[in-house]
Chains A and B, each alone.
Chain A
Amino acid sequence: MADLIYRVNMTNLSFKIEEVPTEWLGLGGRALTSTIVAKEVDPECHPLGPNNKLVFAPGLLSGTSASNSGRNSCGAKSPLTGGIKESNVGGTSAGIMSKLGVKALIIEGLPKNEETFYQLHVTKNNVEFIEVPELVGLDNYAVLDAMAAKYDKKVAVMSIGRVGEMRMNLANISVKDPSGKLRSHGRGGLGAVMGSKKIKCITVDAENYKEVTIADPEKFKEASKIFTKALQENPISGEGLPAFGTNVLVNILNEAGGLPTRNFRAGNWEFAENICGETMAENIKARGGKTTHGCHAGCVIQCSQVYNDKDGNYLTSGFEYETIWALGANFGIKDLDLIAKMDGLMDDLGVDSIEASVTLGLAVDAGILAYGDGEKAYELLSKDLPNGTPIGRIIGSGTHILGKIYGLVRVPTVKGQGIPAYEPRAVKGQGITYATSTMGADHTSGYAVATNILNSGGYVDPLKKEGQVELSRNLQIATAAVDSTGMCIFVAFPALDDPKCLPALVDMINARFGASLSIDDVVNLGKTILKREHEFNIKAGLNSAEDRLPEFMKYETLPPHNVVWDFTGEEIDEFWNF
């Protein structure tokens, strides 16, 4: 049976199934969420009001046996940026939705009764609306426990914590992973949109699905084998990422002078060794955690890990470079175990660990706490934030709003979203991505670090302007396409350097759907999606004046290379000429 659109209306608590319109048939993941948001959501609407929609769509290859295809996209108008948002996640939801035949789940409207929170339970051809007063005020792990008690243990769960209930800008939608821990639809406050619709959690039945149908199983198997081999043989996806995780980047960015430190005042940090990937890997080996771990079934890269404390007790998993950087170099915590404890806390709370931590970095400038005061930071995150005290609400509004409330100038945001982990002045291609991304300052949307710093896909000097706009454009187009397939973005490393990788990916899509797409078709899909998102943003009021980095980066030199952000507006705007 063909995949279907599941449409939920929260205003009258109704549900209907729709055939997939022809023009959406070839779309999945980000391509589908952004297309639906662009078509059905008024760009001028309030993100937390009745006219925003929350859309989930698994990737084109999700639910198949293709390696690393288990990413689910979530889209809406973002309360943080005021523009379009797509955030994709591992976990178990993409595979289960695909196997159930859900092409997209569209949630619209707001309930009339503001007191009640609901659980949506998605089964084959149905969605149940269940009032869940007993879950209100709980955070994510308690919700997972409640759902595990109610359904088969494999049930997919997407939930919000108290911070999402309070509709704060840094609220995530958290997703259960294969080991019962959490992954996040992060950045942009999608958890606040879910909270505005009074949905505490969405569960997807894992007991009655069928395997996805493959139009040409033989061709699929063959392409899948080549693709998997490309991932496993690439030194980055096959060796570096599994051994050290993404946190291997601390030392390399520190050496390159591109590790933002003390709220973007310098490009390197004297305590980098305390928090780096090598130290993390040593701790994991000594304490009995796991250096390799996949965020979804079928992952062969296994960049994730399980990180324990000195006594061997679980602290966190999915412990990423960007979080470690933000709480480490940028906010000043030198103790990796404390950073891990805060990361685990933010999983449970359903808080964006990048936005929250960049906000803490700025809170030092605001005089709220001292640089490196991890104890006070933990108290703010564990008590003030989820209890919604006034200072908790201010932190929960994100970096941009905190900067406004305290009258600060050095506010590291683009389109209202905190800048992550890579200094734009010293990694200029990444700066172009931050400036132009339709998502606000988002490192994943066009990862120029690969070519500026890691010699992946060639080399473009990170400190020079030449070639950066073109580099960022090509990467953003490719990323928009990859985000539509359900693939993890780390397939980009082999795709950049191994000529067999991308054709195998396209072959798998063709074999799955009986299509005959070329690589150019897939690239063109990326272009179309980017333009569609850009058009939405312009109608929402995010014009070219918003495609800019914070002004202080233009006049404040960044040590050790003593560089400034020196692109003119016209040079940045060239990005959109394609």
Chain B
Amino acid sequence: MHILVKLFAQYREGRFKAEQRDYPEEATAQAIINELNLESVSPLGVLMVNGRHVDVSYLLKEGDEIALFPKVGGG
């Protein structure tokens, strides 16, 4: 299935900003985090799919947009 993967802040370094990528049916958000080795850079801060916060066990569906952020803040 086709998933739009969007990376932010430190996760972009040496990777990409946004890419359409193919994953097997029923892949989880965690599988993408693992595949991209994101937590070697910085712990996961925020995970959103289609603009909603979800858990890493979320089962992805065709056409989903997943956004991954390390721990960030401001104000």
Contacts and interface: CB of A to CB of B under 8 A. Distances in A.
Interface in A350-369: none
Contacts of A249: 72-75
Interface of A: 235-237, 239-241, 243-249, 251-252, 255-257, 268, 273, 277-278, 303, 321, 443-444, 447, 449-450, 453-456, 459, 461-463, 489-490, 493, 560-561
B51 A303 contact: no
Contact of B75 (A277, A447, A461): A447
A235 B43 contact: yes
B9 interface: yes
A6 to B, nearest CB: 32
Interface string B39-61: 00011011010011100000000
Please report whether the interface of chain A is mostly helix, strand, loop or mixed according to DSSP: helix
Nearest to B48: A255
B46 A455 contact: yes
B46 A252 contact: yes
Nearest to A420: B75
Given A252-B8, A278-B8, A239 B48 contact: no
Contact of B42 (A239, A268, A444, A561): A239
Contacts of A455: 45-46, 53, 71
A246 B75 contact: yes
B2 interface: no
Contacts of A244: 9, 72
A246 B74 CA distance: 4
Contacts of B69: 251-252
A247 B8 CA distance: 12
Contacts of A459: 53
A273 to B, nearest CB: 8
Nearest to A255: B67
A560 B51 contact: yes
Contacts of B71: 235-236, 239-240, 454-456
14 contacts: A240-B9, A240-B71, A240-B72, A241-B72, A245-B74, A249-B72, A257-B51, A278-B8, A278-B17, A449-B75, A450-B75, A454-B72, A459-B53, A560-B51
Closest A-B pairs by Cβ, 8 of them: A246-B74, A235-B71, A236-B73, A240-B72, A249-B74, A255-B67, A248-B72, A257-B51
B14 to A, nearest CB: 14
B54 to A, nearest CB: 11
B58 to A, nearest CB: 14
Given A252-B8, A277-B9, A278-B8, A240 B67 contact: no
**Most-contacted residue by chain A among B8, B42, B43, B72 (CB, 10 A):** B72
A448 to B, nearest CB: 10
A277 B72 CA distance: 11
A236 B48 contact: no
B6 A450 contact: no
Contacts of A277: 9
A252 B75 CA distance: 12
Given A455-B45, A560-B51, A278 B73 contact: no
A243 B46 contact: no
B74 A235 contact: no
Given A255-B6, A278-B8, 4 more contacts: A235-B71, A240-B73, A247-B74, A456-B71
B74 A561 contact: no
Contacts of A278: 8-9, 12, 17
Contact of A235 (B6, B17, B42, B48): B42
A235 B9 CA distance: 12
